[in-house]
């Protein structure tokens, strides 16, 4: 960034800080009381009490997740281990004639070793492995995006993916088909069990992107007619492992 | 407000346009009923809905009551995450900040995901005025942008267009004839907007919720375009109403439970994204630079106003539109502002701070309270509509014809002779316009009524005029009553008199 731009941003920053003071003071004045500087007691934080302890046993979590994800138009397969996941993905790649596969980086998907089992001409790229490549374009041309989920919630049928250097946000977004591997121990009952972790980790420790995905991209904007795959992946597989 | 696609100036005129458009009425009715039924089913299936509503209301009330604390915390945390935070008191300021960023980044194109705040600011026009292309990427928003119109529903913006109209619009854009097939039309938009996402310099979003304790912003959507907008371009600008705050991620669970179910009947939108700052140093996607512009634009006028402060609790789900019998008939454009339906009828005058100029939309409600019943955070919209009407009359902005009418009514009804005279004149006068026992003429004082209904004619002889005859009939009738019946009635009267000390109707 050129120096002129840097100084422009700095100037905007100092103007914003001054404005913040006036803006916040204005709110306190409208509320007709002095400004509140200490954290107020929040007796209604989070879900109602009866909800906080609600939990399904693992078999029911799997059933409900499957039911919810399918009713949103997604596919679910329960597989015993990563080997089965590898064969499943390879099988789908052959069936759909996938050419470009993009996967997240990370030890679990490294162990999955898709690269070793998919024959030419299928190309498996690993997100951000070589710096400088235009990874967004790699993601846009990919037929399959393969991710390893950080969490899942059965009650809403949602998969959660967190971003980092090896885990691009584009991998779960730009490819035509999304394959999400969900280890069963990461499958929770409620959204709240996942969201609580973000409160606990707090500012500074959160990833830039936290994405909950609950099925294929959809729209009903044309005459209420459901369309799948409008911008994001139109075909989404959740592979529950274990 | 020039992009509205209609230039009628009052709600009544705009509603007339809508009422005469059969397709609009059917489409709006069909969609809103589908959404409303979906919402009811989802609430029912989730269970304990009232307790969740109450919790949602309490969280919103608490946050707004301490808005100075939470907004300040949010701004500090967002800044710590590397976000450039800006404050804009007016629409004008917000637009200036946005344009300055666009200019400094040398932007040629902006991709936008659905945002009601940017509609409020008329940001697209401002961007185009400095030569920056602004592309709406939500399918419905893209369609109405091509049509040069504004959203008519907060959740389904192109509710008023049918697939043939949409095929025409998209064909013009494609340069070839596209058939009116939903899958083909959506496929065209997907391809077209893919290019736009990849070449855009700036991604622009609204904000469903902002989490004070971590400085994160949260977006709910189904299509994936908001994710595109916050992932692909180098610069992200988020415009956020200053009341969008919630304290924590734990509170987000309540909002995530209420919002999708109330909006569309979904357990969850396909995507819920929490964005915390620009891309990290080693990330290979996400914006390099992120701005959040916190917008007041009339919101603070509600703070400290006991009658309207709860308006700031709104989570923009659209459930009140779907529940409203008036919205279902006249559609969104009739309200004439950025926000339509019951929430728009209150929010538009409230944000503009000029109740008087928007006073007619407070009358576009039957005050039935369906909006309150539907609201996931229990905003008493129907009561606010009454407050608005009261303020309008207090401000001396009541309708002149209405107060003249009321005075005339008082004068005529104040004396029996005047009333008799008026009635006789009317009975004579109506002979000119009555056909088949009704008035169908669409001019004069009965026009508003007669356009869609038949005004019944006054009876040739009114009840009062017939009273003498009636009285005689009744009196002679009574004397002709069967003696045994008469006897039984007498007996009953006596019994009752003994039991209740003379009061026959306790």
Determine the pLDDT at residue B502.
41
Q: How confident is the model at residue B80 (pLDDT cuts 50, 70, 90)?
A: very high
pLDDT of amino acid B120: 93
User: How confident is the model over B319-323, as a mean pLDDT?
Assistant: 93
Query: Which residue from B71, B182, B230 is facing A27, i.e. has the nearest CB?
Result: B71
Q: Do A24 and B71 touch (CB under 8 A)?
A: yes
CA distance B230 to B203: 6
Cα separation of the two ends of chain B: 60
| Residue ranges of A 58-97 with Cβ closer than 8 A to chain B | 68, 72
A59-107 pLDDT, tens digit each: 999 999 999 999 999 999 999 999 999 999 999 999 999 999 999 999 9
- Whether the CB-CB separation of B348 and B337 falls below 8 Å is answered with yes
% of chain B at pLDDT higher than 70 = 89
Please, what are the domains in chain B?
35-298 (3.40.50.10420), 400-456 (no CATH), 463-500 (no CATH)
Using an 8 Å CB-CB cutoff, list chain B residues near A42: 62, 247
For chain B, say whether A145 makes contact (Cβ under 8 Å).
no
In this structure, the strands spanning A177-183 and A144-148 are parallel
pLDDT average, residue stretch B78-90: 97
Q: Where are the alpha helices (DSSP H) in B414-505?
A: 416-429, 447-450, 463-479, 483-500
Compute the nearest-CA separation of A215 from chain B (Å): 6
- What are the residue ranges of helices labelled H in chain A? 3-30, 49-52, 58-71, 82-96, 107-112, 114-117, 135-141, 191-201
Task: Report the residue of chain A nearest B63, measured CA to CA.
Answer: A42
Residue pLDDT, tens place only, B442-460: 666 666 666 666 777 888 8
User: What is the sign of the dihedral through the CA atoms of B261, B263, B266 and B267?
Assistant: negative
Contact B399/A at CB under 8 A: no
Rounded to an integer, what distance in angstroms lies between the CA atom of residue B488 and that of residue B1?
Answer: 74
Classified as helix, coil or strand, B165 is helix
Give the mutation candidate from A29, A32, A200, A221 for the B interface (greatest B CB count, under 10 A): A221
Residues of chain A with pLDDT below 50 are none
pLDDT beyond 60 at B505: no
Give the per-residue pLDDT at B426. Answer: 81
Closest chain A residue to the Cα of B98, Cα to Cα? A12
- pLDDT range class, residue B434, cuts 50, 70, 90: confident
Sign of the dihedral defined by the CA atoms of residues A92, A94, A97, A99, in that order: positive
Q: How confident is the model at residue B1 (pLDDT cuts 50, 70, 90)?
A: very low
Q: How many Cβ atoms from other residues are within 10 Å of residue B360's Cβ?
A: 21
């Amino acid at each position: 960034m050129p120096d002129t731009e840097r100084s422009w941003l700095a100037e905007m920053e100092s103007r914003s800080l001054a404005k913040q003071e006036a803006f916040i003071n204005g709110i306190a004045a409208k509320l007709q009381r002095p400004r509140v500087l200490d954290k107020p007691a929040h007796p209604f934080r989070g879900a109602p009490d009866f909800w906080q302890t609600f939990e399904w046993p693992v078999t029911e979590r799997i059933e409900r997740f499957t039911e919810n994800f399918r009713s949103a138009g997604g596919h679910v397969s329960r597989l015993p281990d990563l080997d089965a996941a590898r064969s499943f993905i390879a099988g789908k790649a052959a069936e759909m004639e996938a050419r470009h596969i993009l996967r997240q980086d990370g030890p679990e998907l490294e162990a999955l070793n898709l690269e070793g089992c998919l024959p030419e001409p299928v190309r498996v790229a690993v997100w951000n492995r070589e710096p400088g490549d235009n990874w967004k374009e790699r993601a846009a041309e990919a037929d399959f995006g393969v991710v390893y989920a950080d969490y899942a919630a059965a009650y809403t049928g949602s998969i959660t993916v967190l971003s980092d250097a090896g885990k691009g946000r584009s991998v779960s977004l730009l490819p035509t088909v999304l394959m999400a591997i969900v280890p069963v121990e990461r499958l929770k009952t409620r959204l709240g069990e996942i969201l609580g972790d973000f409160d606990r980790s707090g500012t500074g420790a959160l990833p830039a992107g936290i994405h909950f995905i609950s099925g294929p991209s959809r729209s009903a904007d044309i005459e209420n007619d459901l369309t799948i795959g409008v911008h994001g992946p139109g075909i989404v597989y959740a592979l529950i492992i274990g | 407000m020039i992009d509205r696609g209609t230039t009628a100036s009052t709600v009544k005129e705009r509603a007339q346009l809508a009422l005469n458009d059969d397709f609009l009425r059917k489409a709006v009715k069909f969609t809103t009923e589908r959404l409303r039924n979906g919402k009811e089913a989802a609430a029912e299936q989730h269970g304990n809905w009232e307790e969740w509503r109450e919790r949602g209301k309490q969280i919103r009330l608490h946050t707004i009551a301490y808005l100075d604390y939470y907004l300040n915390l949010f701004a500090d945390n967002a800044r710590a995450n590397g976000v450039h935070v800006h404050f804009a008191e007016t629409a004008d300021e917000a637009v200036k900040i946005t344009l300055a960023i666009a200019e400094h980044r040398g932007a040629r194109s902006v991709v936008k995901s659905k945002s009601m705040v940017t509609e409020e600011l008329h940001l697209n026009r401002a961007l185009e005025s400095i030569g920056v292309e602004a592309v709406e990427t939500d399918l419905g928003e893209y369609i109405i942008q091509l049509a040069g119109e504004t959203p008519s529903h907060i959740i389904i913006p192109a509710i008023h267009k049918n697939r043939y109209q949409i095929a025409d619009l998209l064909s013009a854009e494609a340069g070839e004839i596209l058939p009116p097939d939903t899958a083909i039309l959506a496929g065209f938009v997907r391809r077209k907007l893919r290019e736009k996402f990849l070449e855009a310099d700036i991604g622009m979003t609204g904000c469903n919720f902002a989490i004070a304790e971590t400085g994160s912003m949260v977006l709910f959507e189904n299509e994936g375009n908001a994710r595109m907008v916050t992932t692909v371009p180098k610069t992200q600008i988020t415009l956020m109403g200053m009341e969008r705050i919630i304290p924590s991620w734990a509170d987000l669970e309540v909002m995530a439970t209420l919002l999708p179910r109330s909006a569309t009947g979904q357990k969850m939108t396909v995507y819920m994204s929490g964005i915390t700052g620009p891309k990290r140093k080693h990330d290979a996607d996400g914006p390099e630079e992120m701005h959040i512009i916190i917008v007041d634009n009339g919101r603070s006028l509600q703070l400290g106003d006991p009658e309207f402060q709860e308006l700031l609790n709104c989570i923009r789900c659209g459930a009140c539109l779907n529940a409203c019998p008036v919205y279902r008939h006249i559609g969104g454009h009739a309200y004439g502002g950025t926000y339509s339906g019951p929430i728009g009828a209150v929010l538009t005058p409230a944000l503009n701070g000029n109740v008087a100029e928007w006073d007619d939309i407070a009358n576009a409600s039957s005050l039935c309270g369906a909006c309150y019943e539907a609201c996931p955070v229990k905003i008493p919209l129907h009561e606010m509509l009454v407050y608005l009407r009261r303020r309008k009359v207090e401000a001396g902005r009541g309708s002149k014809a209405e107060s003249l009418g009321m005075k005339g009514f008082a004068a005529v009804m104040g004396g029996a002779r005047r009333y008799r005279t008026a009635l006789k004149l009317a009975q004579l006068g109506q002979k000119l316009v009555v056909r088949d026992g009704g008035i169908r003429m669409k001019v004069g004082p009965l026009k508003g009524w007669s356009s869609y209904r038949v005004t019944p004619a006054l009876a040739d002889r009114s009840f009062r005029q017939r009273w003498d005859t009636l009285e005689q009939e009744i009196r002679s009738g009574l004397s002709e009553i069967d003696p045994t019946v008469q006897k039984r009635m007498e007996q009953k009267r006596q019994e009752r008199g003994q039991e209740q000390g003379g009061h026959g109707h306790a």
